[in-house]
Amino acid sequence: MLIGLHLVHKTVRVGRERPGTVCNFPRMLALGRQLGYRGAGSPVLRCGAAPFCRNRLSPMPLMLKINGTRAPGLLLALACLVVTCLALGTPRTASAATLCPSVPAEQLTPLEQAQRLKICQETRRLEIDNDRNEGALGDLLAFGPLVTALAAIIAVGLTFFKQQRDKSREAAQDRGQPQLELQSRCDEQFATATGNLGSEAAGLQAAGASSLLRIQQRSDSELQREIVLFCAAQLRIGVGDRVRQIVMEVFEKALRASFTDTSAEPALRDLSLDGAQIPGLNLADVDLMRIPFSANRANLVGAILRGADLWGLKAFEADLRESDCAKVNFGPAVLNGAICRRSNFAGASLSSSKWRDADVSGATFMGARLQSADFRCAILQGVEFSHANLNDAFFVGAHVDTATMRTILKANNWRKAHFDPVQQSAIAALS
């Protein structure tokens, strides 16, 4: 049909542009058959009496003489269309049997045979493509535009997300730049301060301690931890009295700052003040979150530990005279051989604590939790145990005077405590 329309259009155009041009219908039929189409039972076109019609187009526009009769150009077009359709045959479903030429191969030239073979191959390929498109692949291809649109939307979204992430990162870097610069300056100043504190000159030591105090006030948590460890080391090795007071102040503030967030992981793995000269150390209400803390043989005279959580403290032979340890949480602390004269342990948590050979003369344990506490061989002269919980506490071999024994009788669960025979006789005499 398309070939016929093309030929009709070409014929009419030629007739308009060049009147008198030869109209060769048999040539049109030959062209159609050359393309591989053969109309079965097509009527014979007769244009005059000659097999090859050479009738001239009339000078009159769009007029043609067919069998001696003049007809308008429109009739000529319709006639050419009908003739071409009949000559080419009615199109059928595309298949290799109908579209491939049915002329015997021996009647075709080698060129025509090659053309026919090419047409058959193209036809077969088209049939395979059509079958594929009509199956599951065709159903998938039907969603091609939707998939393409979704892919485009996702690509645009990813691009937008990446741009926003880059902008947020740049903004965070811009905001954090001043903090980084401040941290860098603090690190440099900290290095300088530590160097001055390590000097033998008292003036440089004092300058280093003052610088360390200023650095601590604007340091982050990581640097606070470094300051705590450095100050603990300085206090252990010993410094001058004036410098020691400054270093102790820095240590106390940095330690509190390191444990401000109690929900976070411990800022330190352990803390040692063994042998440190730190009288009057103020750790009131500090929660060390049960990190190992030791102050063996340390000088803690007059220390303020009220309300602190120093669970598991190891203070073997430490000097805690006149220290304020009210409501402190020592837990299973080890204070064997410690000196705790006139110290205040009222309301403290001291379960399973060890006080062997300790000197706690004049100390008060009023209302303290002393379950399973071990006071064997301790010096208990003038100690106050009223309302303390003495369940399973050990006093065997302890040096207990009468005043202390009277307060023991005012304690809770004193009958479940452990006494040696001499102490039991004294208790029986006072009961």
Backbone angles phi, psi at 159, to 5 degrees: -65, -45
Give dist(CA 431, CA 419) in Å, integer.
15
Q: Which two tokens stand for residue 238?
A: 């010993």
Q: What is the pLDDT of residues 94-111, one digit of tens each?
A: 444 444 555 666 667 877
Looking only at the bridges linking them, the beta strands covering 399-400 and 63-66 are unpaired
List, in order of start, the domains of the chain with CATH numbers: 2-134 (no CATH), 185-264 (no CATH), 269-431 (2.160.20.80)
Task: Please give the mean pLDDT across all residues of the chain.
Answer: 76
Residue 7, amino acid: L
Give dist(CA 30, CA 274) in Å, integer.
116
> What pLDDT sits at residue 265?
56
Q: Specify the range with the lowest mean pLDDT, choosing from 203-217, 242-256, 294-308.
A: 203-217
> What pLDDT sits at residue 148?
80
> What pLDDT sits at residue 140?
61
The radius of gyration computed from the CA coordinates of the chain, to the nearest angstrom, equals: 55
Give dist(CA 158, CA 389) in Å, integer.
67
Q: How confident is the model at residue 363 (pLDDT cuts 50, 70, 90)?
A: very high
Q: What is the pLDDT of residues 144-163, one digit of tens each?
A: 677 788 888 888 888 888 88
pTM: 0.58
Scanning the structure block, which residue is given the tokens 């300790």?
Answer: 358
